């Protein structure tokens, strides 16, 4: 075991990371109606900073009260009460020497109209995922095709949520462009059949992401981080490659690299998996197309896998291992033999059982 990289520091803008390990964003669906997570969910994030993670991402916070929400009990960060609730959490994470990042998203065609006050589902095109919505047991709702008004309005939601995060003291903001949600719907021809300047060419499909990034960047101070999460898979129809080829994906990565972002976070099922019919994994393919710092996530569960993943990335994120094992960072440090958690084991995240 080489073990040289994972516990080495890393400089990210003005931030010195104490190691290369971060808590991946994890939705917990714990809000009882005020769009504020339960106290034990907050405590969990603080504890993972105490347990040694250098980075802590929040759950994906939805960007408006109209069409952004896809799962019950999600959080928002636009009212003073919501901001006040996050402030001590952010401070406590920072006190442990960790970096706190707020992830935000709009669910796009994955939204669930019944839990959105405006009762709408909006997306670039009126196309649903093929699979049944596991939350409702029914097909996904056919989205309204977003008008220019909708597009501008949704961007305001990202901006207001980013402002909320800055007010709450977060060190950074992540724009969630992965997993088949709204930004990813625009990026991928699987969900985007528009014929206007938001569809068709890769440049056109990238336009919405560009507009969100530019608008958000304007409201965050220069010393904060702006990160962007991307994936080639979505939570619905997970077998589908959302980008048509390695070239297309790399073109998007190159466009992202020209944006004012500090990190690209690549989400995979398994960091080792080869992509686009090549013998390369997603981190390698991403690295080829950008000089930006990279985060990689997906089945990184012990020291060897963390070190291996860091061959082509700068920071590893873990979801399930950090969710279910409070000692994970220390176990990685000691090289303890660990096994991978199964997805079903992570379902405890959605119960009201407090996690260690």
Residue span binding ligand FMN (CB under 6 A) among the ranges 24-32, 88-96, 212-220, 247-255: 24-32
Annotation marks residue 181 as catalytic: yes
Q: Which stretch binds ligand FMN (CB under 6 A): 8-16, 94-102, 293-301, 330-338?
A: 293-301
Interaction of residue 229 with ligand FMN, rule CB under 6 A: yes
Judged by CB under 6 A, does residue 184 bind ligand FMN?
A: no
**Catalytic residue chosen out of the listed positions 181, 190, 198, 341:** 181
Q: Counting contacts by CB under 6 A, is residue 236 touching ligand FMN?
A: no
Burial class (CB in 10 A: 0-12, 13-18, 19+), 148: exposed
125 vs 231 by CB, closer to ligand FMN: 231
Using the rule CB under 6 A, is 165 a contact of ligand FMN? no
3-state secondary structure 60-100: EEECCCCCCCCCCCCCCCCCHHHHHHHHHHHHHHHHCCCEE
Rule CB under 6 A: which of 80-139 touch ligand FMN?
Answer: 103
Instruction: List binders of ligand FMN among 298-337 (CB under 6 A).
Output: 298-300, 318-321
User: Residue 195 CB, nearest distance to ligand FMN (Å)?
Assistant: 30
User: Could you say whether residue 294 binds ligand FMN (CB under 6 A)?
Assistant: no
Candidate segments 6-14, 19-27, 46-54, 134-142, binder of ligand FMN by CB under 6 A:
19-27
* Options 172-180, 206-214, 252-260, 276-284: segment touching ligand FMN (CB under 6 A): 172-180
Query: For ligand FMN, what does the binding mask look like between residues 27 and 66, x meaning CB under 6 A?
Result: x-------------------------------xx------
Q: What size, in residues, is the chain? A: 356
User: What separation in angstroms does the CA of 275 have from each of 178, 241, 246, 340?
Assistant: 16, 9, 8, 21
Contacts of 246 (CB under 8 A, 6+ apart): 275, 276, 277, 278, 280, 285
How many residues bind ligand FMN (CB under 6 A)? The answer is 22
Minimal distance in Å, beta carbon 355 to ligand FMN? Answer: 10
Round to whole Å and give the CA distance between 354 and 356: 7
Other CB atoms within 10 A of residue 8 CB:
12
The phi, psi pair for 157, rounded to 5°, reads: -60, -40
Are 125 and 194 in contact by the 8 Å Cβ rule? The answer is yes
Residue 109: partners with Cβ closer than 8 Å, 6 or more residues away: 121, 123, 127, 128, 129, 140, 143, 180, 182, 185, 191
Question: Which residue in this structure is represented by tokens 């398994």?
Answer: 270
Tokens 């919405």 sit at which residue?
208
Binding site for ligand FMN (CB under 6 A): 24-27, 59-60, 103, 176, 178-179, 229, 267, 297-300, 318-321, 346, 349
Catalytic residue positions, numbered:
181
């Amino acid at each position: 075991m080489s073990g040289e990289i994972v516990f080495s520091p890393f400089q990210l803008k003005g931030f010195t990371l104490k190691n290369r390990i971060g808590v991946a964003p994890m939705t917990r669906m714990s809000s009882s109606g005020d769009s504020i997570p339960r106290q034990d969910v907050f405590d969990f994030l603080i504890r993972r900073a105490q347990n040694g993670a250098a980075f802590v991402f929040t759950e994906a916070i939805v960007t408006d009260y109209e069409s952004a929400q896809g799962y019950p009990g999600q959080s928002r960060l636009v009212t003073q009460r919501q901001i006040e609730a996050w402030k001590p959490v952010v401070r406590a994470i920072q006190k442990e020497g960790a970096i706190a990042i707020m992830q935000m998203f709009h669910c796009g065609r994955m939204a669930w109209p019944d839990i959105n006050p405006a009762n709408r589902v909006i997306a670039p095109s009126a196309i649903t995922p093929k699979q049944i919505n596991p939350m409702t047991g029914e097909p996904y709702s056919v989205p309204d095709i977003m008008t220019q008004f909708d597009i501008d309005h949704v961007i305001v939601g990202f901006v207001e949520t980013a402002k909320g995060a800055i007010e709450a003291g977060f060190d950074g903001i992540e724009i969630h462009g992965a997993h088949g949600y709204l930004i990813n719907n625009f990026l991928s021809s699987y969900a985007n059949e528009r014929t206007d300047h938001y569809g068709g060419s890769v440049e056109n499909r990238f336009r919405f992401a560009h507009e969100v990034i530019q608008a958000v960047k304007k409201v965050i101070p220069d010393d904060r981080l702006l990160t962007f999460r991307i994936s080639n898979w979505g939570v619905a129809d997970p077998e589908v490659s959302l980008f048509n080829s390695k070239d297309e994906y790399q073109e998007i990565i190159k466009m992202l690299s020209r944006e004012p972002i500090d990190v690209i976070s690549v989400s995979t099922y398994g960091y080792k998996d080869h992509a686009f019919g090549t013998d390369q994994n997603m981190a390698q393919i991403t690295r080829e197309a950008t000089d930006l710092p990279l985060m990689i996530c997906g089945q990184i569960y012990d020291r060897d896998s963390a070190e291996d993943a860091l061959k082509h990335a700068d920071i590893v994120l873990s979801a399930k291992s950090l969710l279910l094992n409070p000692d994970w960072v220390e176990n990685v440090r000691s090289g303890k033999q660990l096994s991978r958690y199964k997805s079903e084991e992570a379902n405890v995240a959605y119960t009201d059982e407090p996690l260690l």
